[in-house]
Structure 1
Amino acid sequence: PAGTLHYSEWKTTESRLLETDNFANVGLEIEPTRIPDQYNAVVRTATKTNSRTDFLFNLLKGAPVHTSYVDVWNIGNSGINFNGNYRWDTDRRRAEGRLKIPVPIAGLVHLEIGNTWRYERWDLSPTIRPESRPRARFDYKANALQVRVKHIPHYRVEVAAGFEYRNRAARGALPELFTDSRNTGKFSVETNLRLLDGKHQNRLHLEAFAARRSVIGNTQFTGGVAELKNRVTLSRPTRTYLNWSLKGGTARGALPVEDYFVLGLDTHPANLLRGHTVADHGRYGRGPMGTDFVLMNTDIERRLATIPFFNTVSIPFISVKWNLFFDGAKTWDRNRIFRQSKLLLDTGGGLRFETPTYSFNLVYGRSLREGKNVLFAYYERRLW
């Protein structure tokens, strides 16, 4: 229909289309009309496909991290997606499956239903207090059912709520970390707020979670996370940016080991500390852990090239960037199970290979505190 398309309306439409995960890219083109000073706004999309080539690529793309992926987009033209993966790492086996279902109401709400199976071997020797070190190794096994609802009322605002029930079967000698068969039912709410959207962009992320024995499960704890991400454009012609973020988290109560905050590099890292890894020789427990943490990430990035893929394997193009980074962090444990970390300082550089929605990162980092180096690759969803 005729009318004026405002910037905020287009950005909200773009955010909602990308959130469906059915499109590899979304763009807006302006076409002139026969009427002076009037134009047509045309939304252009690149649809994700389910070809044999896509299927084979998904099976093989995670081979460096011992993971195969299975994605089926827009099942029967319903807008429903299935995403699954299996990690065959000997000490960190994991199988995940998720259905993402668009609920056809005003503003388009997304319902996610998923299941995660994990069987892992942990070694907490690098991070646990010395008196508990003889008991630091254990096996962790769990099956978790997740339900989550997300809505984008405006491109500056996202809200979500979810529930996870974890059927646990850990085997170890650390009852204070729930290395047994006690189960967890965890509720969570979160929101993302874009405060600035110009030369200086930022996003505030707020999240709260709680588990209650009186409702479901055998654990009781509460916690929250706050994160402010920022981007400053240093040069538009050269596509040079300064990125920095501040993040902190706190939790109270007796926490299962998997609910502690962990800092470091993983295939899909939650708390990025680029001179540390969360696992050592395939076993979790290497990264700094605690009930509380603060984390700062800074980096400068510049685009080197853009490589067109013409939506081959559902990738319209890849942007290649170099970056230099500096991270700082500190952890505490109010339950006095893990050692309090010193001020951790990491630096290094790397390459980013970005599609419109995701980024594959190859980094070489050094822990200035420990004098150790790490070469690692990880995935993350793009924000900017």
Structure 2
Amino acid sequence: MTQKTSAWPLALSYTALIVYASLYPFSDWRDQGIVPWFYLTAPLPKYWTWFDLVCNVLGYAPLGFLYALSSLRSGGPRRSAHAVLLASTACGLLSFAMETLQSYLPVRVPSNVDLTLNLLGGWLGAVTAFSLEKLGAIDHWSRIRAHWFVDDARGALVLLALWPVALLFPTPVPLGLGQVMERLEAALGDALQGTPFLAWLPVREVELQPLLPSEGLLCAMLGVLIPCLLGYCIMHSKTRRALFLIATIAVGICATALSDALSYGPSHAWGWFSLPVQVGLGVAFPVGLALLAMPRRACAALLLVALAVQLGVLNQAPASAYFSQTLQTWEQGRFIRFHGVIQWMGWLWPYVTLVYVLVRVSRREPGT
């Protein structure tokens, strides 16, 4: 019997992210004049780091987990019995395709070691999903999900699962996802350079100004209230909403601290926790408590307002020069594999959430 599960949309999203991470930056493709799978029989690399080894395993482990879980939850008995084999094979084929395509990219180096580690990671993830299913943990989670959330909660759960990942990419304003206007204008200007369409671009009369402390406070507050309101849209119980509020604030703080630790070093993990951010998070908690009893449809409407306000404030501010230097650590350093993936998630998460909530509000839902 097929069951509703968030595993499939998560698996498809993660597959797209793997493809993006593997083929980034998608430029200067060239044919080396050799078969693209030459790396299969190439000698083992002389230079490697534990960081690369661990990342290759951990990068595919969630994918194997989601593939296996999707098979276990939505397939018949015959398909479920081979979930580990199917998931491992899918991860291996995807990794083989990505490594082979990297043969055409000058900044990427295909490797048989990467292929092996990716396959190992996918297998470990699939075995983990299979083991949890046999132990009853997946059924237990399904019961918890049915008890905590409304039936049609898959889209919101996927967005909530991706939110802390999006926060890992450094943002100019703590917890401020979706600041794209400055880069979008620069990208359009570069793309239209030398064409008559360049004159069509609107010219700013006033330069972007840095955010005031009060605006940073507002963005920090809305940065945690937005995922809280998204959770409220798929939850009824005030008690569960209160627990979700606490968990969301804690996850947002931890993800932002981890982002700064990766970008600037562990000693600077709390450099972002300025007074405006502290006040913003402090205000977010009582505001979230005050909204516990709000109907789900009203939460969705308020969420749209919160998204519009935060995106409006963020996109009227420029990125600092110091922040631009931070991006180079991700774009040119050892985070290059994750730069494109997490950056796009940080850019698009608020806009995808906006579209999702608009679609949800446009439907008639009983009990809202």
Do they superpose with TM above 0.5? no
Greater RCO (CA < 8 Å, at least 6 residues apart): 2
Q: TM-score, normalised by structure 2?
A: 0.24
| Structure whose residues are more often strand by fraction | 1
Q: TM-score, normalised by structure 1?
A: 0.23
| Structure whose residues are more often helix by fraction | 2
